[in-house]
Amino acid sequence: MAGLSLDVLRTGKKYRLTNFRETHEFIVENILSNGDFKVKDLLTLECYRLKELLTYGKGADYYLEEIESQ
């Protein structure tokens, strides 16, 4: 599936990641020097690193999209 690359993520923007039938909506809080991102989940308000979501690889349904700000 076509979608955004991790290279285009920007601080302060909201994104939706679908991977292995799980959907996560988050806002990027900080871009880390190792190529990872500190993100905040929009539903649970939990903070974590984006690579934690991709630990087990990318599924066939992997799709990353920007959520329009309202």
Q: pLDDT digit string (tens) for 43-57?
A: 999 999 999 989 989
Gap between the Cα atoms of 62 and 31, Å rounded:
21
Half-sphere exposure of 8 (CA within 13 A, CB side): 7
Statement: residue 65 has pLDDT above 60: yes
Q: Is residue 37 within 8 Å of 9, Cβ to Cβ? A: yes
Q: What is the pLDDT of residue 1?
A: 53
Strand order from edge to edge, sheet including 22-31 = 47-49, 37-41, 22-31, 14-19, 63-67
pLDDT in tens, 8-37: 999 999 999 999 999 999 999 999 999 999
pLDDT of 70 higher than 80? no
